[in-house]
Amino acid sequence: MSEPPVEGYALSAPSRTKQAVAAAAAARDKAIRQFVALLVPLIRATRVPLLVVVLFPVVPAVLVVAIALSRPGPDDWFWVLLAAVGLLLAGWLALRRHQLLAVAADKEALIAALTRLVTGRELWAQLADNLSTGRVATAVARRSRPLRVLTGLWRGVRAAGVLAEFAASDELAPLTPMRLRGSWLLVVSCVLAGAVLGVALLVAALLFLLGA
């Protein structure tokens, strides 16, 4: 006849399981908070640089349209179309800027959104490491090229399921690799558009002064 199990022994296994689950959750939460502590200042550091890039094509575009409308001619459509392309790119980047800054608007809300994702601490630790290491130190990156550092957020990460959850969330979608790369391409496009519109502004101004 077998002896009844000792009560302390019977409860030890579930207790250890609960402790392991609690420890894993605590480690995950700590990793998420460390990740957010690096991410939020980096996102906020993009506020002014991205605004400058947004305005870079807007100013010459508005002036080109003003000059074109003040001297009616057969080439007006060209100047207006050129300005419209620059304004479209600037507007698109302004929208992406707003969405990215919204991610960092409420730190605790961001932590809650990340915590809802079912995953362990390893992902968050790697993401934090991607923001804090590399050729450019984080402190320098925040001052000089924060958006470029953000584009390396997912470097070496293989987590298709998590990326799908990010993309499906309005709060976290701006942090997906496609959105971050798209924002970087928009920055380059706006800089090029601003340069082209600057030249166009000079040409349009000369034509206006010459009465052509």
21 has a pLDDT exceeding 90: no
Among 6-10, 51-55, 64-68, 174-178, the range with the most confident prediction by mean pLDDT is 51-55
Say how far apart CA 60 and CA 201 lie, in whole Å: 6
pTM of the model: 0.77
pLDDT at position 140 over 50? no
Q: Is 54 in contact with 94 (CB distance < 8 Å)? A: yes
What's the pLDDT at 128?
Answer: 79
The 10s digit of each residue's pLDDT in 53-106 is 999 999 999 999 998 888 777 777 888 999 999 999 999 999 999 999 999 998
- Provide the pLDDT for residue 154: 75
Mean pLDDT computed over 6-28: 61
Spatial CA neighbour of 167 closest among 154, 156, 177: 177
Alpha helices in the chain (DSSP H): 7-44, 47-70, 76-103, 107-115, 121-132, 138-144, 146-151, 160-168, 177-210
Question: In a 3-state reduction of DSSP, which class is residue 64?
Answer: helix
DSSP codes joined into one string, 120-151: -HHHHHHHHHHHH-SSS-HHHHHHH-HHHHHH
Statement: residue 166 has pLDDT above 50: yes
The pLDDT value given to residue 117: 74
Residue 142 confidence (pLDDT): 46
Those residues with Cβ within 8 angstroms of residue 33's Cβ, 6 or more apart along the chain or in another chain: 111
Query: pLDDT band for position 118 (50/70/90)?
Result: low
What pLDDT does 177 receive? 85
- Would you give the distance in Å from CA 16 to the centre of its chain? 41
Domain ranges (residues) in the chain = 14-210
